[in-house]
Amino acid sequence: MSARAEPRGTLPASARVKKRREYQEIQSRGQRLPLPHFVLIVAARDPDDAHGPRLGITASRKIGGAVQRNRAKRLVREAFRATRELFPPDIDVVVIVRTNLGALRLADVVAELRSAEGALSQRIARARRERGAKRGP
């Protein structure tokens, strides 16, 4: 892989969290991972329904106007595509943008996600354990 992160195309609808109810469920039962510019919330899905990791993005108005919010969401989507190997197929991820990304480039966002790989894998393991515990015997 090159040192520079390149755009990788589109994110299919099956790879997105779309409904408000899904966002609320992920945020209520998911494991939080705070990063300098984002909060990642990961939640495990039923492995039988897993067709790849799904991404949801939240950017409130405190981030800035529509242009800044949409740029932040585009950067997060591209970074998710570039680091997809960090997210197993049975995981849902909601990214909350905490600050205006301003001068950040795609490579910066990718580097921030990669730097959290160890903590992310711990949160994913915890989310899977909780998912299994809620199923019961």
Which is more confident, 33 or 7?
A: 33
The answer to whether position 40 is within a domain reads: yes
Q: What is the pLDDT of residues 38-70, one digit of tens each?
A: 999 999 988 777 688 999 999 999 999 999 999
Strand intervals (E) in the chain: 31-34, 38-44, 54-58, 91-97
Q: How high is the pLDDT of residue 46?
A: 83
Q: What is the pLDDT of residues 83-133, one digit of tens each?
A: 999 999 999 999 999 998 888 999 999 999 999 999 999 999 999 998 876
Q: How high is the pLDDT of residue 2?
A: 47
Mean pLDDT of the chain: 89
The answer to whether position 136 is within a domain reads: no
For residue 39, the domain's CATH number is 3.30.230.10
The answer to whether position 96 is within a domain reads: yes
The answer to whether position 67 is within a domain reads: yes
| pLDDT confidence tier of residue 8, bands split at 50, 70 and 90 | low
Q: How high is the pLDDT of residue 80?
A: 94
The answer to whether position 8 is within a domain reads: no
Q: How far are the Cα atoms of 56, 129, 133 from residue 90, in angstroms, in the given order?
A: 14, 13, 16
Handedness of CA 29, 37, 119, 49 (dihedral sign): positive
Number of domains forming the structure of the chain: 1
> Cα 13–86–120 angle (5° rounding)?
110
- The boundaries of the domain holding residue 92 are 14-131
* 13-17, 18-22, 91-95, 131-135: the lowest-pLDDT one: 131-135
Q: How high is the pLDDT of residue 41?
A: 97
The answer to whether position 137 is within a domain reads: no
The answer to whether position 1 is within a domain reads: no
pTM summary value: 0.87
The answer to whether position 32 is within a domain reads: yes
